[in-house]
Amino acid sequence: MENILLTGVAGFIGWKTAEFLLKEGINVIGIDNMNDYYDVRLKEYRINQLKDFKNFKFYKADIENLEAMDIIFQDNKIDAVINLAARAGVRYSIENPFVYLSTNAEGTLNLLELSRKYGINKFVLASTSSLYAGQPMPFKEDLPVNTPISPYAASKKAAEVLCYTYHYLYGIDVSVVRYFTVYGPAGRPDMSIFRFIKWIDEEKPIELFGDGSQSRDFTYVDDIARGTIKALKPVGYEIINLGGGKNPISLKEVISTIEKYLGKKAVISQKEFHKADLKETWADITKAEKLLGWKPEIPFEEGIKRTIEWYLQNRDWLKDIKL
Protein backbone atom coordinates (compact mmCIF):
# COMPACT_ATOMS: atom_id res chain seq x y z
CA MET A 1 0.00 0.00 0.00
CA GLU A 2 1.44 3.31 -1.10
CA ASN A 3 -1.41 5.77 -0.44
CA ILE A 4 -3.30 5.91 2.86
CA LEU A 5 -6.24 8.18 3.65
CA LEU A 6 -5.98 8.96 7.35
CA THR A 7 -8.79 10.86 9.07
CA GLY A 8 -8.30 12.65 12.37
CA VAL A 9 -4.71 13.30 11.34
CA ALA A 10 -4.30 16.28 13.71
CA GLY A 11 -5.49 14.16 16.61
CA PHE A 12 -3.18 12.55 19.13
CA ILE A 13 -3.14 9.03 17.66
CA GLY A 14 -3.66 10.19 14.07
CA TRP A 15 -0.59 12.42 14.20
CA LYS A 16 1.71 9.68 15.45
CA THR A 17 0.29 7.10 13.04
CA ALA A 18 0.79 9.50 10.14
CA GLU A 19 4.35 10.23 11.24
CA PHE A 20 5.27 6.54 11.25
CA LEU A 21 3.66 5.97 7.84
CA LEU A 22 5.42 9.00 6.35
CA LYS A 23 8.78 7.84 7.66
CA GLU A 24 8.17 4.53 5.87
CA GLY A 25 7.77 6.46 2.61
CA ILE A 26 4.01 5.97 2.38
CA ASN A 27 1.91 8.81 1.00
CA VAL A 28 -0.57 10.07 3.60
CA ILE A 29 -3.70 11.98 2.64
CA GLY A 30 -4.64 13.52 5.98
CA ILE A 31 -8.08 14.86 6.90
CA ASP A 32 -9.07 16.79 10.01
CA ASN A 33 -11.74 19.39 10.74
CA MET A 34 -9.53 21.02 13.43
CA ASN A 35 -12.49 21.41 15.79
CA ASP A 36 -12.11 23.13 19.15
CA TYR A 37 -13.21 20.25 21.41
CA TYR A 38 -9.84 20.96 23.02
CA ASP A 39 -7.26 23.70 22.44
CA VAL A 40 -6.52 23.88 18.71
CA ARG A 41 -2.91 24.86 19.37
CA LEU A 42 -2.12 21.23 20.17
CA LYS A 43 -3.61 20.13 16.84
CA GLU A 44 -1.68 22.83 15.01
CA TYR A 45 1.53 21.71 16.73
CA ARG A 46 0.98 18.14 15.51
CA ILE A 47 0.07 19.15 11.95
CA ASN A 48 3.14 21.38 11.73
CA GLN A 49 5.31 18.36 12.58
CA LEU A 50 3.81 16.48 9.61
CA LYS A 51 4.04 19.29 7.06
CA ASP A 52 7.80 18.81 6.84
CA PHE A 53 7.19 15.54 4.95
CA LYS A 54 6.92 15.85 1.16
CA ASN A 55 4.66 12.77 1.01
CA PHE A 56 2.01 14.41 3.23
CA LYS A 57 -1.12 16.09 1.88
CA PHE A 58 -3.58 17.78 4.26
CA TYR A 59 -7.24 18.64 3.86
CA LYS A 60 -9.14 20.65 6.44
CA ALA A 61 -12.47 18.89 6.08
CA ASP A 62 -15.12 17.04 8.07
CA ILE A 63 -15.97 13.37 7.53
CA GLU A 64 -19.62 14.28 8.19
CA ASN A 65 -19.59 16.24 4.90
CA LEU A 66 -20.20 13.54 2.29
CA GLU A 67 -19.82 15.92 -0.64
CA ALA A 68 -16.42 17.17 0.55
CA MET A 69 -15.25 13.60 1.23
CA ASP A 70 -16.36 12.51 -2.25
CA ILE A 71 -14.17 15.18 -3.85
CA ILE A 72 -11.15 14.06 -1.80
CA PHE A 73 -11.72 10.41 -2.77
CA GLN A 74 -12.05 11.44 -6.44
CA ASP A 75 -8.88 13.53 -6.42
CA ASN A 76 -6.56 11.01 -4.79
CA LYS A 77 -5.40 7.46 -5.40
CA ILE A 78 -6.24 5.66 -2.15
CA ASP A 79 -5.23 2.11 -1.24
CA ALA A 80 -6.69 2.02 2.28
CA VAL A 81 -8.59 4.14 4.80
CA ILE A 82 -7.63 4.54 8.45
CA ASN A 83 -10.51 6.25 10.22
CA LEU A 84 -9.24 7.87 13.41
CA ALA A 85 -11.56 10.88 13.22
CA ALA A 86 -13.92 10.78 16.18
CA ARG A 87 -15.57 12.73 18.90
CA ALA A 88 -13.88 11.38 21.99
CA GLY A 89 -14.58 11.62 25.71
CA VAL A 90 -17.11 9.74 27.80
CA ARG A 91 -18.29 12.61 30.01
CA TYR A 92 -18.74 15.19 27.26
CA SER A 93 -20.74 12.70 25.21
CA ILE A 94 -23.43 12.80 27.91
CA GLU A 95 -23.66 16.58 27.57
CA ASN A 96 -23.76 16.59 23.74
CA PRO A 97 -24.72 13.14 22.43
CA PHE A 98 -25.87 14.28 18.97
CA VAL A 99 -22.44 15.28 17.70
CA TYR A 100 -21.04 11.90 18.77
CA LEU A 101 -23.54 10.00 16.65
CA SER A 102 -23.11 12.29 13.64
CA THR A 103 -19.30 12.09 13.65
CA ASN A 104 -18.58 8.61 14.94
CA ALA A 105 -21.41 6.74 13.20
CA GLU A 106 -22.57 8.84 10.24
CA GLY A 107 -19.02 10.00 9.46
CA THR A 108 -17.86 6.39 9.41
CA LEU A 109 -20.79 5.51 7.14
CA ASN A 110 -19.71 8.23 4.69
CA LEU A 111 -16.19 6.79 4.52
CA LEU A 112 -17.44 3.23 4.10
CA GLU A 113 -19.82 4.22 1.31
CA LEU A 114 -17.06 6.08 -0.51
CA SER A 115 -14.72 3.14 -0.04
CA ARG A 116 -17.35 0.95 -1.70
CA LYS A 117 -17.92 3.49 -4.46
CA TYR A 118 -14.23 3.87 -5.32
CA GLY A 119 -13.20 0.24 -4.85
CA ILE A 120 -11.04 0.71 -1.74
CA ASN A 121 -10.86 -2.67 -0.08
CA LYS A 122 -9.10 -2.00 3.25
CA PHE A 123 -10.62 -0.07 6.14
CA VAL A 124 -9.22 0.38 9.66
CA LEU A 125 -11.58 1.75 12.31
CA ALA A 126 -10.45 3.11 15.67
CA SER A 127 -12.78 1.95 18.43
CA THR A 128 -12.67 1.93 22.22
CA SER A 129 -12.26 -0.14 25.37
CA SER A 130 -15.24 1.80 26.75
CA LEU A 131 -17.43 -0.83 25.09
CA TYR A 132 -16.35 -3.43 27.64
CA ALA A 133 -18.21 -1.88 30.58
CA GLY A 134 -19.52 -4.56 32.92
CA GLN A 135 -17.58 -7.40 31.26
CA PRO A 136 -15.12 -9.73 33.04
CA MET A 137 -11.42 -8.90 32.74
CA PRO A 138 -9.07 -9.13 31.00
CA PHE A 139 -11.31 -7.94 28.19
CA LYS A 140 -11.42 -10.26 25.16
CA GLU A 141 -12.72 -9.26 21.74
CA ASP A 142 -15.45 -11.94 21.71
CA LEU A 143 -17.23 -10.56 24.78
CA PRO A 144 -20.82 -9.43 24.11
CA VAL A 145 -20.50 -5.64 24.19
CA ASN A 146 -24.18 -4.87 23.68
CA THR A 147 -24.79 -2.55 26.64
CA PRO A 148 -22.71 0.64 26.18
CA ILE A 149 -23.09 3.02 29.11
CA SER A 150 -22.27 6.32 27.37
CA PRO A 151 -23.25 7.92 24.05
CA TYR A 152 -19.56 7.80 23.13
CA ALA A 153 -19.41 4.03 23.51
CA ALA A 154 -22.77 3.62 21.77
CA SER A 155 -21.60 5.67 18.78
CA LYS A 156 -18.45 3.56 18.49
CA LYS A 157 -20.50 0.37 18.65
CA ALA A 158 -22.64 1.74 15.81
CA ALA A 159 -19.50 2.39 13.74
CA GLU A 160 -18.26 -1.16 14.35
CA VAL A 161 -21.58 -2.62 13.24
CA LEU A 162 -21.63 -0.48 10.10
CA CYS A 163 -18.15 -1.75 9.26
CA TYR A 164 -19.34 -5.33 9.57
CA THR A 165 -22.31 -4.59 7.30
CA TYR A 166 -20.02 -3.22 4.57
CA HIS A 167 -17.69 -6.17 4.99
CA TYR A 168 -20.61 -8.58 4.62
CA LEU A 169 -22.30 -6.84 1.70
CA TYR A 170 -19.32 -5.58 -0.30
CA GLY A 171 -16.32 -7.59 0.89
CA ILE A 172 -14.44 -4.63 2.38
CA ASP A 173 -11.62 -5.93 4.57
CA VAL A 174 -12.01 -4.36 8.03
CA SER A 175 -9.77 -4.18 11.08
CA VAL A 176 -11.49 -2.66 14.12
CA VAL A 177 -8.85 -1.69 16.68
CA ARG A 178 -10.15 -1.11 20.19
CA TYR A 179 -7.77 1.26 21.95
CA PHE A 180 -7.08 1.19 25.66
CA THR A 181 -6.15 4.42 27.45
CA VAL A 182 -3.53 6.10 25.26
CA TYR A 183 -0.97 8.57 26.60
CA GLY A 184 2.27 10.21 25.54
CA PRO A 185 3.79 13.50 24.31
CA ALA A 186 1.33 16.00 22.80
CA GLY A 187 -1.57 14.03 24.26
CA ARG A 188 -5.12 15.22 24.69
CA PRO A 189 -5.57 17.81 27.47
CA ASP A 190 -8.88 16.26 28.51
CA MET A 191 -7.08 13.01 29.45
CA SER A 192 -5.76 12.36 32.95
CA ILE A 193 -2.02 12.13 32.14
CA PHE A 194 -1.81 15.56 30.48
CA ARG A 195 -3.98 17.17 33.14
CA PHE A 196 -2.15 15.63 36.07
CA ILE A 197 1.26 16.67 34.73
CA LYS A 198 0.14 20.25 34.14
CA TRP A 199 -1.67 20.60 37.47
CA ILE A 200 1.19 19.12 39.51
CA ASP A 201 3.80 21.24 37.72
CA GLU A 202 1.73 24.40 38.23
CA GLU A 203 1.03 23.40 41.86
CA LYS A 204 -2.72 23.42 41.28
CA PRO A 205 -5.12 20.88 42.82
CA ILE A 206 -5.68 17.72 40.78
CA GLU A 207 -9.33 16.94 40.04
CA LEU A 208 -9.52 13.25 40.96
CA PHE A 209 -12.85 11.54 40.28
CA GLY A 210 -13.21 8.76 42.85
CA ASP A 211 -10.58 7.68 45.35
CA GLY A 212 -7.82 6.99 42.83
CA SER A 213 -8.11 3.21 43.07
CA GLN A 214 -9.70 3.00 39.60
CA SER A 215 -7.19 1.74 37.07
CA ARG A 216 -6.52 1.71 33.34
CA ASP A 217 -4.53 -0.33 30.85
CA PHE A 218 -2.38 2.62 29.82
CA THR A 219 -0.75 2.27 26.40
CA TYR A 220 1.97 4.52 24.98
CA VAL A 221 1.01 6.34 21.77
CA ASP A 222 3.93 4.98 19.72
CA ASP A 223 2.79 1.43 20.45
CA ILE A 224 -0.78 2.28 19.48
CA ALA A 225 0.39 3.86 16.22
CA ARG A 226 2.47 0.78 15.35
CA GLY A 227 -0.51 -1.48 16.05
CA THR A 228 -2.80 0.66 13.93
CA ILE A 229 -0.41 0.40 10.97
CA LYS A 230 -0.07 -3.36 11.43
CA ALA A 231 -3.87 -3.54 11.30
CA LEU A 232 -3.66 -2.68 7.59
CA LYS A 233 -2.99 -6.39 7.11
CA PRO A 234 -5.81 -8.28 5.32
CA VAL A 235 -7.92 -9.98 8.00
CA GLY A 236 -11.47 -10.23 6.63
CA TYR A 237 -13.34 -8.63 9.51
CA GLU A 238 -11.66 -8.65 12.91
CA ILE A 239 -11.92 -6.74 16.17
CA ILE A 240 -8.51 -6.40 17.80
CA ASN A 241 -7.54 -5.03 21.21
CA LEU A 242 -4.53 -2.71 21.37
CA GLY A 243 -3.59 -2.19 25.01
CA GLY A 244 -0.83 -2.53 27.54
CA GLY A 245 -1.85 -6.11 28.24
CA LYS A 246 -0.34 -6.21 31.72
CA ASN A 247 -1.82 -5.44 35.12
CA PRO A 248 -3.81 -2.19 35.05
CA ILE A 249 -2.27 0.87 36.68
CA SER A 250 -4.22 2.80 39.29
CA LEU A 251 -4.57 6.57 39.17
CA LYS A 252 -2.76 6.69 42.52
CA GLU A 253 0.24 5.05 40.85
CA VAL A 254 -0.03 7.42 37.89
CA ILE A 255 0.11 10.41 40.24
CA SER A 256 3.08 9.06 42.20
CA THR A 257 5.02 8.35 38.98
CA ILE A 258 4.41 11.88 37.70
CA GLU A 259 5.48 13.27 41.09
CA LYS A 260 8.71 11.29 40.81
CA TYR A 261 9.70 12.69 37.40
CA LEU A 262 8.50 16.24 38.02
CA GLY A 263 10.02 16.39 41.49
CA LYS A 264 6.83 17.92 42.87
CA LYS A 265 4.00 16.72 45.09
CA ALA A 266 0.37 16.67 43.99
CA VAL A 267 -2.42 18.52 45.74
CA ILE A 268 -5.57 16.44 45.31
CA SER A 269 -9.15 17.67 45.08
CA GLN A 270 -11.35 14.59 45.23
CA LYS A 271 -14.55 14.52 43.18
CA GLU A 272 -17.41 12.03 43.02
CA PHE A 273 -16.81 9.05 40.72
CA HIS A 274 -18.67 9.47 37.41
CA LYS A 275 -21.21 6.73 36.74
CA ALA A 276 -20.33 6.54 33.01
CA ASP A 277 -16.66 5.81 33.76
CA LEU A 278 -15.23 2.31 34.04
CA LYS A 279 -13.64 1.28 37.33
CA GLU A 280 -10.96 -0.70 35.55
CA THR A 281 -9.79 -1.66 32.07
CA TRP A 282 -7.44 -4.47 31.09
CA ALA A 283 -6.84 -5.73 27.56
CA ASP A 284 -6.31 -9.31 26.52
CA ILE A 285 -3.92 -8.73 23.61
CA THR A 286 -3.43 -12.37 22.60
CA LYS A 287 -5.24 -11.77 19.32
CA ALA A 288 -3.09 -8.78 18.38
CA GLU A 289 0.05 -10.81 19.10
CA LYS A 290 -1.08 -13.77 16.98
CA LEU A 291 -2.84 -11.95 14.14
CA LEU A 292 -0.67 -8.84 13.77
CA GLY A 293 2.57 -9.80 15.47
CA TRP A 294 2.08 -6.79 17.74
CA LYS A 295 2.74 -6.18 21.40
CA PRO A 296 3.53 -2.99 23.31
CA GLU A 297 7.20 -2.10 23.76
CA ILE A 298 7.24 1.00 25.99
CA PRO A 299 6.81 0.34 29.75
CA PHE A 300 4.53 2.73 31.63
CA GLU A 301 7.25 4.44 33.65
CA GLU A 302 9.38 5.03 30.55
CA GLY A 303 6.34 6.43 28.76
CA ILE A 304 5.64 8.85 31.61
CA LYS A 305 9.28 9.91 31.62
CA ARG A 306 9.17 10.69 27.88
CA THR A 307 5.87 12.53 28.24
CA ILE A 308 7.18 14.75 31.02
CA GLU A 309 10.37 15.47 29.08
CA TRP A 310 8.24 16.66 26.15
CA TYR A 311 6.06 18.73 28.48
CA LEU A 312 9.06 20.47 30.05
CA GLN A 313 10.55 21.22 26.62
CA ASN A 314 7.28 22.84 25.53
CA ARG A 315 6.14 24.36 28.82
CA ASP A 316 6.42 27.93 27.51
CA TRP A 317 3.35 27.51 25.30
CA LEU A 318 1.66 24.64 27.13
CA LYS A 319 1.14 26.92 30.13
CA ASP A 320 -1.66 28.63 28.15
CA ILE A 321 -3.42 25.40 27.12
CA LYS A 322 -6.86 25.21 28.71
CA LEU A 323 -7.90 21.99 30.41
Domains: count for the chain: 1
pLDDT, residue 279, reads 80
259 falls within a domain: no
Please name which of 77, 31, 76, 25 lies closest in space to residue 55, comparing C-alpha atoms: 25
11 falls within a domain: yes
Least confident of 3-12, 176-185, 267-276: 267-276
pLDDT, residue 207, reads 87
109 falls within a domain: yes
305 falls within a domain: no
Residue 152 known to be catalytic: yes
**pLDDT band at residue 7 using 50, 70 and 90 as cut-offs:** very high
238 falls within a domain: yes
Range of the domain at 21: 3-183+218-245+279-298
In terms of pLDDT, which residue wins out, 252 or 270? 252
24 falls within a domain: yes
pLDDT in tens, 129-185: 999 988 998 999 999 998 898 999 999 999 999 999 999 999 999 999 999 999 999
Is residue 160 within 8 A of residue 239, CB to CB? The reply is: yes
Q: For the domain that residue 103 is a member of, what is the CATH number?
A: 3.40.50.720
Provide the sign of the torsion angle of the four alpha carbons 243, 244, 245, 250, taken in this order: negative
209 falls within a domain: no
Contacts from 164-172 at CB under 8 Å and sequence distance 24+? 164/237, 166/112, 166/113, 166/115, 166/116, 166/123, 167/236, 167/237, 168/237, 170/116, 171/121, 172/112, 172/115, 172/116, 172/120, 172/121, 172/122, 172/123
- Which of 38, 132, 152, 220 is flagged as catalytic? 152
262 falls within a domain: no
Average pLDDT estimate for 30-58:
96
pLDDT, residue 276, reads 62
